[in-house]
Amino acid sequence: MTFIILIGLIVFTSCTKSQEKTEWIFVEGGTFEQGKNQILISPKGDTIKGFTSPHRMVELDDFYICKYEITVKQFKEFCKNTARKMPNAPIESANGIKVNYKWIDENPMLATWDEANDFAKWAGGRLPTEAEWEYAAKGGKQTKGFKYSGSNNPIEVGWVKENSNSTFHKVGLLKPNELGIYDMTGNVGEWVFDWYNPEKDSLVNNKNPQGLAEGEGNYKISKGVSWFYETQNTNGEPLEYGIHMPEVRYQSPKNTRNDGFGFRIAKSN
């Protein structure tokens, strides 16, 4: 009997320890203007429309979100505890260049959507909705109205084309946003729960929207964009409205794995 209790205690302690490695930030709920900036200007002066979340007022309850992007080390522990094989690292970058990455523990995990979703459930959470992610990136009720997540200058808060040396970086090295959350601008784009189906965005509830029940093909949404994209105009000034803004959504097949896609997780209060 004592032996059984001891084994149970060991298992419980192991599970608790793995979940404690996720640092949570509390996000007080509220109403915010999602998709506020609908026109993006590229460094070459192109105007890009329809590449953002729906423009509407959204009401959200309190929730928690990860302070950092989920790391390779955390994902390795998930694989070990669920008896699954650690996936192979990408052999190509997001722009098709052969890279043959090796997994580095402190770097963000480059995961498919299903892997991210499975990890979230195992860790006692879920993937954030697009609305939750955008609200948190903008600083929630602590927002100072920055164009990017924590600054009007994306280089201060994110690894982007101009400072990334053409790759992603260890999590948490740059300035956090108003809520103390890191890397919501640049580094790697982050999968969210929602399907991509912009023609039906208007059908989604404005209170705690969960996204649509199905998408356009098997496309899911990611947010934050990655290290690959430029953030300055031809004069070297930060773009006022650029592709790394929290409003921007990127869509990809959910089995995509390259150096442009990672994730963080959330949980309800």
Residue 68 pLDDT greater than 70, yes or no: yes
Task: Write down the pLDDT at residue 45.
Answer: 61
The pLDDT tens digits of the residues spanning 84-143 come to 999 999 988 877 888 889 999 999 999 999 999 999 999 999 999 999 999 999 999 999
Which bin fits 78, alpha (ψ -120 to 50), beta or left (φ > 0)? alpha
Pinpoint the alpha helices (H) of the chain.
2-20, 72-81, 113-122, 130-137, 154-157
Q: What count of other Cβ atoms lies within 10 Å of the Cβ of residue 264?
A: 31
Share of the chain above pLDDT 90, in %: 72
The pLDDT tens digits of the residues spanning 9-57 come to 333 333 334 444 799 999 999 999 999 988 776 666 666 666 899 999 9
Token pair of 218, please?
A: 């098997």
Quick one: 21-268 is in which CATH superfamily? paralog of FGE (formylglycine-generating enzyme) (3.90.1580.10)
Sequence ranges of the domains in the chain: 21-268
